[in-house]
Amino acid sequence: MTPLDPQPATGEPQAPGPAEPASLGLQVQVEQAAPMPLSGAFACAAGEMLALVGPSGAGKTSLLRLMAGLLRPRQGRVTVDGEVWVDTATGQWLPPQRRHVGLVFQHYALMPHLDACDNVALSLLHLPGPERQAQARHWLDHVGLDAAQQKRRPAALSGGQQQRVAMARALARQPRLLLLDEPFAAVDQMTRQGLYRLLADLRRELAIPIVLVTHDLHEARLLADRLVVLDQGRVLQQGTPAAIHRAPRNARVADLVGLQNRFEGRWLGPAEPQGTGRLQWTGPQLAQRPAAAHAAPQQDPVLLVPDKRRLEPGQAVNWVIPGEAIELVEPARRQAGDLDGVVSQVRHLGEITLCTVDLTGPPWARLTLTLAGARPALLGTLDALSPSVGPDALHPVAVRLDTRLVHVMPVRSA
Amino acid sequence: MDWQAVRLSVELALVTWLVLLPAGLALGRWLATTRFAGKAAVEALVVLPLVLPPTVLGYYLLVGLGAASPVGAWLATHFGVQLSFSFTGLVVASVVFNIPFMVQPIQRAFEAIPRDLAEAAAVSGLSFWQTLWRVELPLAWPGLLSATVLTFVHTLGEFGVVLMMGGNIPGETRTVAIAIYDRVQAFDLAGADRMALLLAVASLVAVAASFFASARLTVRR
């Protein structure tokens, strides 16, 4: 484990002991039940971008406020480059004024009575007047505001321009930690692309930890090196976006990161070859299955999936399979092990196509596929289907699963 | 025209304003930014002088602070201050009477400032006083102006409390409003006329000017 590896997430309260490695970048650890529950630990290295993701009320903004010093934890510790910003164990506390943190507020929090330049200059009060103005102009130039815009008050600027002023104000502090609270929520898509570019440039030149709060998973995956998944104030899982999508810790994480194909099953135990196990895909209760299921009850299918040796035979499990591991083939090309289904919905949304497939045999489950334009084989099939059969007509397909990509999670009694 | 009474009224209004402005600023900002148990009770106390009949308020002030009361006796023996039928007593009464006029506009003005502005200021390195001076006061300024005008105009015109607490002593406690009453009692309607007109015009001009300035000063968000 390198010093920058995140500490194990959630659950057990962890006291930072003397054995803690020399801490670079940001280290956060918090454990409190009131006034709002917050629990977990995470780290963010210099130059790294960490995204806090989760539903509203998950505690994302509270954690940001904790780092900025606007919220004092009941029990917790925040360090940046080894300097203690707060440590409830030793009673250390650095007020927000002395933290040198750049915080971009969700609604920017620009001073309405000051023009853009004075807004930025406000965070440079330690400098003499003329120097302050020069620095403020420098930062506004840097984020791409022209001289005329710099003289305007926030009300006369567009959302994207206000966002840039907020960014310039945060940067002018020469922060040691940059915090972004839903920074792109209120700007349109075109403006957003420009801001993404700005953020990418800044990130390269700043080399400080950057923490981004967002509920937009697409954005989080696009921008962040690592994700911290939060729910009800708890850190559920952290890791690279790819790792979390490949192997969510539990069903809740799978739902929170938007994995669509999550199913239930029963773990049957290890199998040959070594490292694999048998997973029975259990669908809905018989009563909820279509009439055809009652006519000819069959066994739920058993899949051969990777085994990480964490599960007991007979244990109820949740499992996910990524969209890229699901292939639809013409019924004529059906092979042994393929499942029968019908395409029940096809929705074309610009460059992506949403497609649902209902299995016509056990376990009678529904699969959801988001197909990018770059899936010619599959799209070819669908395009061939749609005109002849109409958008919602049921068209039979064979479903082929790459079960090597299945990820199995124990069901936890929450 | 009783110029002595006019001068006394203006002096009373000025002193009242000087005493109440810092107190009202502190109280109004505190009520706007803090939540605590019993806040509703404090707010009710602040508004009370607005709804009490002035004679009732004046009566309690006279009974509570007059020479015969324990507080009045204590003030007289230790400081040689007599509150009833004196200018000092008038100031005390006027300050109490004007609390809602000063505090409420200030409280509303501070309440209208988005909370994240003060937090943004703190993160930007501004101390409490810097935030107050550079962020909060410029934004709360129309509220301060309106509190000032209301207090001033209200003090010029107050009658019941002044009469109860101060009586009608020329040069000491006879304000314009009392002088008008005095002239009417003496059947000098012409004298009452002039002073009433002065008071009416002054009040109208002050309130109109504050509305105008407040509309110009309010920052667009």
Residue ranges covered by each domain of chain A: 26-100+175-255, 260-410
Chain B residues within 8 angstroms (CB to CB) of chain A: 114, 116-117, 119-127, 130, 134-135, 138-139, 219-221
Q: Looking at residue B94, which CATH number applies to its domain?
A: 1.10.3720.10
How many A/B residue pairs have CB atoms within 8 Å?
A: 67
Alpha carbon of B21: minimum distance to chain A alpha carbons (Å): 23
Alpha carbon of A67: minimum distance to chain B alpha carbons (Å): 11
User: Which residue of chain B is at minimal alpha-carbon distance from A70?
Assistant: B119
Using CB atoms, which residue from B125, B130, B135 is nearest to A111?
A: B135
What domain range includes position B62?
A: 3-217
Token pair of A285 as six digits: 């209760």
Token pair of B50 as six digits: 């607005």
Token pair of A338 as six digits: 């393929």
Token pair of A39 as six digits: 């629990």
Q: With 80 as the cut, is the pLDDT of residue B141 above it?
A: yes
What is the CB neighbour count within 10 angstroms for residue B159?
Answer: 16
**pLDDT number for residue A71:** 92
Contacts of A101 in chain B (CB under 8 A): 123
Contacts of B139 in chain A (CB under 8 A): 111-113
Q: What is this structure's pTM?
A: 0.79
Which residues have CB under 8 Å from A186's CB, separation 6+? Answer: A106, A107, A159, A163
Least confident range from A10-24, A261-275, B33-47, B135-149: namely A10-24
| Secondary structure tally for chain B: helices H, strands E | 11, 0
Contacts of B122 in chain A (CB under 8 A): 69-70, 95-97
Task: Report the alpha-carbon distance of residue A338 to residue A93 in Å, rounded.
Answer: 61
Q: Is A97 close to B127, i.e. CB distance below 8 A?
A: yes
Q: Is B117 close to A96, i.e. CB distance below 8 A?
A: no
Domain count across chain B: 1
Contacts of A95 in chain B (CB under 8 A): 122
Chain A residues within 8 angstroms (CB to CB) of chain B: 68-70, 95-99, 101-103, 105, 107, 109-113, 122-123, 125-126, 153-155, 169, 173
Per-residue pLDDT of chain A (414 residues; tens, 9 = 90+): 344 444 444 444 444 444 344 457 999 999 999 888 999 999 999 989 999 998 888 899 999 999 999 999 999 999 999 899 999 999 999 999 999 999 999 899 999 999 999 999 999 999 998 999 999 999 999 988 999 999 999 999 998 899 999 999 999 989 999 999 988 877 788 888 888 888 888 888 888 999 999 888 888 888 899 999 999 999 999 999 888 988 888 888 888 888 888 898 989 988 888 889 999 998 766 566 666 666 666 678 888 899 888 888 888 899 999 888 888 888 888 888 888 888 887 777 777 778 888 888 888 888 888 876 544 345 455 555 544 445 455 678 888 999 998 999 988 754
Q: Is B125 close to A111, i.e. CB distance below 8 A?
A: no
Q: Is B121 close to A122, i.e. CB distance below 8 A?
A: yes
Closest to A341 (Cα-Cα) out of A398, A293, A393: A398
3-state secondary structure of B70: helix
**pLDDT number for residue A295:** 61
Interface probe, candidates A113, A127, A132, A177, chain B, greatest B C-beta count within 10 A: A113
Task: Report the alpha-carbon distance of residue A51 to residue A203 in Å, rounded.
Answer: 14
Task: Please provide residue A255's backbone torsions phi and psi, each rounded to the nearest 5 degrees.
Answer: -65, -40
Q: Is A103 close to B130, i.e. CB distance below 8 A?
A: no
Q: Is A153 close to B220, i.e. CB distance below 8 A?
A: yes
Token pair of B109 as six digits: 């003005």
Q: What share of chain B is helix, strand, coil (3-state, %, to 5)?
A: 80, 0, 20
Task: Report the alpha-carbon distance of residue A223 to residue A183 in Å, rounded.
Answer: 12
Inter-residue contact A45 to A2 (CB < 8 Å): no
Contacts of B131 in chain A (CB under 8 A): none
User: Which residue of chain B is at minimal alpha-carbon distance from A109?
Assistant: B117
DSSP string, A338-388: -EEEEEEEEEEETTEEEEEEEESSTT--EEEEEEETT-HHHHHHHHHHHHH
**pLDDT number for residue A14:** 43
Which residues have CB under 8 Å from A384's CB, separation 6+? Answer: none
User: Which residue of chain A is at minimal alpha-carbon distance from B114?
Assistant: A109
Q: Is B114 close to A109, i.e. CB distance below 8 A?
A: yes
The CATH class of A26-100+175-255 is: alpha beta
Task: Report the alpha-carbon distance of residue B99 to residue A176 in Å, rounded.
Answer: 46
Using CB atoms, which residue from A96, A110, A111 is nearest to B123?
A: A96
